[in-house]
Chain A
Amino acid sequence: MKVVVIDYGMGNLHSVSKALETAGAEVLVSNRSGDLEMAEGIVLPGVGSFVQGMKHLVGLDLIDKLYQEVIIKKKPFLGICLGMQLAAKTGEEGGSVNGLGWIDAKVIRFDFQSNEYKVPHMGWDDVKFVGVSPLFAGLDSPATLYFVHSYHFVPADRKIVTGVCDYGDEFVVSVSKDNIHLFQFHPEKSQAKGLKILANFIDMYRNKE
């Protein structure tokens, strides 16, 4: 499967690319229209702030192109961490900032009264699967995966939720809506289990080639 990992200046592209390659994809790191058109799958990784992420996507003139490829052409799409959050309608950081708006959801900060729960949510935590997603095939629930974030994704429609985690309260860590698959955790940093999830993503769509 030919995957384009979008380079929008937001963080660790190398790990995501290598992990996808190890999982069996042919990877190209790019932000060029032409490359996105040729891609069979698109991955939006990213670490960093929501506002910066949107700024960079706008600056690179990617918003419309991504809409074309992902929403209209329905290409398989994987959003990781910031890449998940940007798919929402709004992000809370620095006032209300608009995201890509592909999923009816908002991104809000963890807000705990005591310091028993530290923010950022940093480290390995248990992800409970919701329903049966092919992305988690071969893994037992809960699966311990790696997180590093201060904000989390709140979708309006709970039916698209495929994974949750307990941190203070239960919060959403993965959703799937048609061709759009979003993860709050970092599969490219979650060693064997993370690589399995990426391999599952590639296998899901490989047969359709």
Chain B
Amino acid sequence: MLKNRIIPILLLKNGRCVKGRQFGNYRDTGAPVTAAKIYDAQRVDELMFLDILASVERRSVLLDIVTETAKECFMPLTVGGGVKTIEDMKILLAAGADKVSINTAAVEDPDFIKEAATYFGSANIVVSIDYKQNNDGSRQVYTHGGTKATGKDPLVWAGEVASLGAGEIVLTSIDREGMMLGYDLEFIKIITSALMIPVIAHGGAGTLADLKQGIVEGGASGVATASIFHFTDQSPIKARWFLKDNGVNVRL
């Protein structure tokens, strides 16, 4: 049976891991390559690197990190942050990434998703969707690291993304990100019920019980988390054993 995945996310800024709240207030959380080695030793299901200060100048820093990580860590790796072209993707995949994640580039040019899926195969293309709740309770997609409102409905956008050939969606609630008060479960359920492709829930996990809810109640194929592993005594190992002990289908 396909296992549910626990995916730590490492946000990168200037070559260091950082973690914040609601896409701001970032604190240093360690060195990327050693963090990857730790997660590899802890046998995580997958690891995601997101370069939040992505720019042409920083591209080589990210590549070095990916290359170094791939030398000793043999676990699935998704890399994203400022990925704009097929060439960007080629270079990251050749350096050791298994999947590449696009966000802003997909919103600005949805056909890019199709182009990438055709070239690399759907399974290797992840689209990250960041959203916030509006005052009237509806939700809206944001790009550019959570700074630009797009007016797009995330449910509609997710549907488009899937039909354009994306292999997987990482759905992030900006409001809940880093707050450690639980996932946006109702909305996650709406998205996972509507789509044929896997959805990874991200944003809000504070306790192991939250991780369980994201999978069982939210219907997510996996849960991505950062804060819980950086700022609490929980580890991916404890998380998997807890979930297994509570009847969730995970890999031990």
State whether A22 and B95 are in contact (beta carbons under 8 Å apart), knowing that A115-B195, A123-B221 are contacts in the complex.
no
Q: How far is the CA of A48 from the CA of B99 in the complex (A)?
A: 10
- Which residues of A sit under 8 angstroms from B197, Cβ to Cβ? 118-120
Contact for B251 among A120, A144, A149, CB less than 8 A: A144
Q: How far is the CA of A168 from the CA of B122 in the complex (A)?
A: 20
Query: Is the Cβ of A191 less than 8 Å from the Cβ of B74?
Result: yes
A133 contacts chain B at the CB level, 8 A cutoff: no
- Which residues of B sit under 8 angstroms from A191, Cβ to Cβ? 40, 43, 74-75
B122 to chain A, nearest CB (A): 5
Query: Is the Cβ of A122 less than 8 Å from the Cβ of B123?
Result: yes
B119 contacts chain A at the CB level, 8 A cutoff: yes
Query: Is the Cβ of B120 less than 8 Å from the Cβ of A189?
Result: no
Query: Is the Cβ of A48 less than 8 Å from the Cβ of B2?
Result: no
Q: How far is the CA of A104 from the CA of B3 in the complex (A)?
A: 31
Contact for A19 among B2, B46, B74, B193, CB less than 8 A: B74
Query: Is the Cβ of A123 less than 8 Å from the Cβ of B198?
Result: yes
Q: How far is the CA of A149 from the CA of B2 in the complex (A)?
A: 13
- Which residues of B sit under 8 angstroms from A49, Cβ to Cβ? 118-121
What is the 8 Å Cβ interface bit string for chain A, positions 147-178, against chain B (1 contact, 0 not)?
Answer: 01110000000000000001100000000000
- Which residues of A sit under 8 angstroms from B67, Cβ to Cβ? 14
- Near A by CB (< 8 A), chain B positions 166-212 give 167-168, 193-198
A21 to chain B, nearest CB (A): 9
State whether A189 and B98 are in contact (beta carbons under 8 Å apart), knowing that A47-B123, A149-B123, A150-B122 are contacts in the complex.
yes
Query: Is the Cβ of B94 less than 8 Å from the Cβ of A13?
Result: yes
B156 contacts chain A at the CB level, 8 A cutoff: no
A23 to chain B, nearest CB (A): 10
- Near A by CB (< 8 A), chain B positions 98-141 give 98-99, 118-124
Contact for A15 among B4, B70, B168, B222, CB less than 8 A: B70
Assign chain B's interface to a size class.
Answer: 35 or more
Q: How far is the CA of A109 from the CA of B77 in the complex (A)?
A: 24
Query: Is the Cβ of B119 less than 8 Å from the Cβ of A52?
Result: yes
- Which residues of A sit under 8 angstroms from B99, Cβ to Cβ? 148
Most chain B beta carbons < 10 A, residue from A11, A120, A121: A120
B129 to chain A, nearest CB (A): 16
State whether A148 and B75 are in contact (beta carbons under 8 Å apart), knowing that A15-B98, A167-B2 are contacts in the complex.
no
- Which residues of B sit under 8 angstroms from A47, Cβ to Cβ? 93, 98, 120-121, 123-124
Query: Is the Cβ of B221 less than 8 Å from the Cβ of A118?
Result: yes
* Nearest neighbor of A167 in chain B, beta-carbon distance: B2
- Near B by CB (< 8 A), chain A positions 102-153 give 112, 115, 118-126, 144, 146, 148-150
Q: How far is the CA of A126 from the CA of B196 in the complex (A)?
A: 21
Query: Is the Cβ of B121 less than 8 Å from the Cβ of A123?
Result: no
- Which residues of B sit under 8 angstroms from A195, Cβ to Cβ? 74
- Which residues of A sit under 8 angstroms from B77, Cβ to Cβ? 15
A108 to chain B, nearest CB (A): 14
A98 contacts chain B at the CB level, 8 A cutoff: no
Q: List 20 A-B pairs, Cβ < 8 Å.
A: A12-B96, A13-B94, A19-B74, A48-B119, A49-B118, A49-B119, A115-B193, A115-B194, A115-B195, A120-B123, A120-B167, A123-B2, A123-B45, A123-B222, A148-B123, A166-B1, A186-B98, A189-B74, A189-B76, A191-B43
Residues of B within 8 A of A (CB): 1-5, 40, 43, 45-46, 67, 70-72, 74-77, 90, 93-99, 118-124, 167-168, 193-198, 221-222, 251
